[in-house]
Amino acid sequence: MQQMTVQEKVGQMFTIGFHGLEAPDYLLEWLAQGRAGGVILFARNIDTPEQVARLTASLHKAAKYPLLIGIDQEGGTVARLRKGFSESPGAMALAAASDEQTARTERVSAVLGEEMCAIGINWDYAPAVDLLYSAENPTMGTRSFGIDPEQVSSFAEAAVEGFQRAGVAACAKHFPGLGETAIDTHLALPRLTVSEAQLLNRDLMPYRAAIDAGIASIMTTHTIIETLDPDYPATLSPVIIQRLLRDELGFDGVVTTDCMEMKAIADHYGVGESAILAAKAGVDVILVSHTPEMQAQAYESLLQAVMNGDVSEEIIDAASARVEKLKSQFAITAAPDLEVIRHPDHLAIMEEAARAGTVLLYGEIPSLRGRVLAVEFASVLESGIVEMGGQTGFAQRLRERLPEIEIHSLPGGDLEAALAEQLTASARAADWVIVATRNAAWNAQQRAFAEALLQNAQNSILLCLRTPFDAPVLPRASAALCTCGDSAPSLDAAIDVLMGEFIPNGRLSIPVALP
């Protein structure tokens, strides 16, 4: 690789996002100038596999230096590649399987990695290895493998091996762990008072496992860990990045920030200031996901800080060297191979994993006879990480299998009182009522409506499509089923259970107090 200028070295530290299905001119110009080293894709950039392959090819072609194209493709709730791709169950579903848990996780991760690599994507911001301490954590939920640090460590290692064997750099997040916070960093700046001993003995165990497995990168959290650094969130803290991650854990791979436009950072620091502080703290890649003006300001501020000596060139050189090494390890060298996408073997792996992760919380699933009413609730999550709004096809899928069923998909916003009264009356007249919830535990209106349906039903099945925490807050149904996430294969698995095609034997990886 040719010798980089200081301007280019600083540019290689930035990964940026954009809006639309084609790369804007400014982005292509920055890539050609070496002013950006990576690009992050979101659902807003995704249409079909063919379109994504064209898009990534245009980005790789424009770039002066080898390019990192990243994406949040955890599987389950957080997945940007959905329609037209092999969807997977999420972390909680993988952890709920009663056998072959880690082997299955590695297979699923490898499928996701193969399909990303086949369309020109070489960096996956996954796996999420935060422990799920509390149902109140709004960011994690079914994205977490569970609460047991040893178990989560095993899954972290398996996911890393699967992704990276397929040719995609893995990225463990959110270092050093979101812990017991009830605040979403997209919306505000959380503070944690967790002890250093708990961090070392619990939250950091999955990171040790990921590092031992050779993970290529780690993403920091925008959370203040008061016992380590009461002044700066982890993203901007040399104590956490240098002393803890580099020195204590011995990680010498790429450290990337989460998006610097999230309110935890943006509301407390200017984008230029935060870029400088992140570089000083030891970050290698600064992620600015949305706004060209913010991206330009962050780059110019860091470059100026280097030129006037506020940030040493040694820091920039070290970051540039680690980024260059990552790019050489996960270079995209082959043309897109769309034959890989939704290969029958891939779909079979996802179907088997979704079935294994389906949990019968209580009761027995009956043979559905007579008049059946199904009500599906959409989800409203106030989080920037979840891009799939509304319902995701359970109603349509169920109607295809049971054409005679009465089924209603309800929006995620306000529910009309007249509709609630109408469906409650229908519930009284039905022989069976299926109530499919999404995060009713955190949505008072959805919870009240679901409660009325269950209380007025002769016989009922509660189907928790997102989280098992819906079950404890609702009246006991005749039976309750949890898919631990509502990606396509998990919805199909739930319907297969309702059709009597298999009996689920999954077990939750977290404690849930059932009614």
Catalytic residues: 186, 258
Region for residue 291 given its phi and psi (left: phi exceeds 0; alpha: psi -120 to 50; beta: otherwise): beta
Alpha carbon 102 to its chain's center:
18
SS (H, E, C) 453-497: HHHHCCCEEEEECCCHHHHHHCCCCCEEEECCCCCHHHHHHHHHH
Distance CA 485, CA 3 (A): 47
3-state secondary structure of 388: coil
326-343 residues labelled b (16+ CB within 10 A) or e (exposed) = bbeebebeeebebebbbe
User: 127 preceded by cis ω (within 30°)?
Assistant: yes
Alpha carbon 379 to its chain's center:
16
Give the residue from 40, 20, 16 showing the smallest Cα distance to 30.
Answer: 16
Tokens linked to 64: 């002066």
Polymer length of the chain = 515
User: 176 preceded by cis ω (within 30°)?
Assistant: yes
Distance CA 89, CA 109 (A): 10
Distance CA 29, CA 18 (A): 13
Rg (CA), the chain: 23
Identify the residue whose tokens are 């977290």: 510
SS (H, E, C) 75-100: ECCEECCCCCCCCCCCHHHHHHCCCC
**What is the bridge-based pairing of β-strands 359-363 and 479-482?**
antiparallel
Region for residue 84 given its phi and psi (left: phi exceeds 0; alpha: psi -120 to 50; beta: otherwise): left
